Amino acid sequence: MLERLRYRLRYISGTDIALWIVAALLLTMIVVGSYNILTEGRYTGRQWLDFVISGLAQGSIYALIALGYTMVYGILFMINFAHGEVFMSGPFTAYFLAEYLKQKGMFQSHPLLALLLVMLLSMLVSTVIAVSLERLAYRPLRGAPRLVPLITAIGASFFLQYTFRGLYTPGFKAYPEVEPLKGTWVFFPNSLHLEIERMLIAVFVSSVLLLILLYAFVQFTKTGRAIRAVAEDQQAAALMGVDVDHTISVTFAVGGAAAGAAGVFYALMFRQVNYFMGFFPGLKAFTAAVLGGIGNLPGAMLGGLFLGVFESVGPSLFLEGLGVPAAYQLKDAIAFTMLVLFLIFRPTGILGERLAKRA
């Protein structure tokens, strides 16, 4: 026991010590801040619950986007940095359908049907963009060193942003409101009187349903089995008669469809779309994928929900207690600090998939 400890101590470097000090400091900050705010009683239990619920809704959107990152990584070992733009392309295009349906009065007469149409168009556009991206930008570079597709992805990201900026003009566009999703629903009116915004519930529930659906698709269908086989060993999959190129296309399509759906949820929650809307959710979802363990499907879902709640509760919980003004604006800083910490201390993510299985 003592022997082993001495052995391990010998291999601790100065950098390790510095990193552990940073981690300890951050942890102290979190504990002290949380303690202050909780003893102070600035927020009621209900308000904390609100933070958690909006965090879950936001997190389920991250989870849907993160799915695309993690599936593509699982199969090609590349980070598709243009995935945020895949997410943007759907709802931005579907905005025009939404606007048209609103003018025709369909959003007023059949709001849910109209929403469904918008949703389908958004998913379709995102899917087409994702698949074309793979076909045109990534497939020709399949054999290249890993840095090459990565840089290409960043280029493709800018290309898509400015293409859509040129196509649809740079301004913000307001998504129509959906009448049945306005206001709140009250649960247990006699005892708890839990009042929750309808939109959050709708977004959370439909996202989770979609996540389950996609997971089942990968786990239980024949195509899903092909995806998993290609992710494990492309050549062995080809020897089973799996069409590898086609399977990679399908993977991009699934990720694209999920991102397109997430985009509509995002547009409904924040009521606006523009060409830059994919940047931050894209980075956040990437963070979520890393948190969960990139390449790992349930991990991406878990990571998304975790990140959503963390950045929703975090600012009020441990920054306000330290006297940081306007703590809520620092939620992005919290999210990315967490990314860095995870990459340093647990690069395998929560669910522990090895990051670089094969070089």
Partner 1 sequence: MAYFEVRDLHVYYGAIHALKGISLRVEEGEIVTLIGANGAGKTTTLRAISGLVRPRSGQILFEGEDLLRYKPHEIVTQKRVIHVPEGRRVFARMTVEENLYMGAFTRTDRDKVEEDLERVYQLFPRLKERRRQLAGTLSGGEQQMLAIGRGLMAAPRLLLMDEPSMGLAPILVESIFETIQEINKQGTTILLVEQNAHMALQIAHRGYVLRTGEIVLHDTAENLRANEMVQKTYLGMA
Output the smallest distance, CB 244 to partner 1, in A.
7
Quick check: 118 and 177 in contact, CB under 8 A? no
User: Residues 40, 177, 179, 232: which binds partner 1 (CB under 8 A)?
Assistant: 232
Q: Does 355 bind partner 1 (CB under 8 A)?
A: no
Output the smallest distance, CB 220 to partner 1, in A.
10
Residue 228 or 271: the one with the smaller Cβ distance to partner 1 is 228
Residue 198 or 228: the one with the smaller Cβ distance to partner 1 is 228
**DSSP single-letter state for residue 346:** -
Count the site residues for partner 1 by CB under 8 A: 17
User: Residues 142, 198, 225, 271: which binds partner 1 (CB under 8 A)?
Assistant: 225
Q: Label residue 271 left, alpha or beta by phi (over 0 means left) and psi (-120 to 50 means alpha).
A: left
Please state, in angstroms and rounded to a whole number, the distance separating the CA atoms of residues 200 and 39.
29
What would the two tokens of residue 77 be?
A: 């070992």
What would the two tokens of residue 216 be?
A: 């089942």
Beta bridge partners of 241: none
Interface with partner 1 by CB under 8 A: which range of 145-153, 163-171, 205-213, 220-228? 220-228
Quick check: 40 and 321 in contact, CB under 8 A? yes
Report the DSSP pairing between strands 184-187 and 194-197: antiparallel
Per-residue binding letters, 235-264, with partner 1 (x by CB under 8 A): xxxxxxxxxx--------------------
Output the smallest distance, CB 59 to partner 1, in A.
26
User: Residues 16, 179, 233, 332: which binds partner 1 (CB under 8 A)?
Assistant: 233
Please state, in angstroms and rounded to a whole number, the distance separating the CA atoms of residues 87 and 304.
15
Q: Point out which residues bind partner 1 (CB under 8 A).
A: 222, 225-226, 228-229, 232-233, 235-244
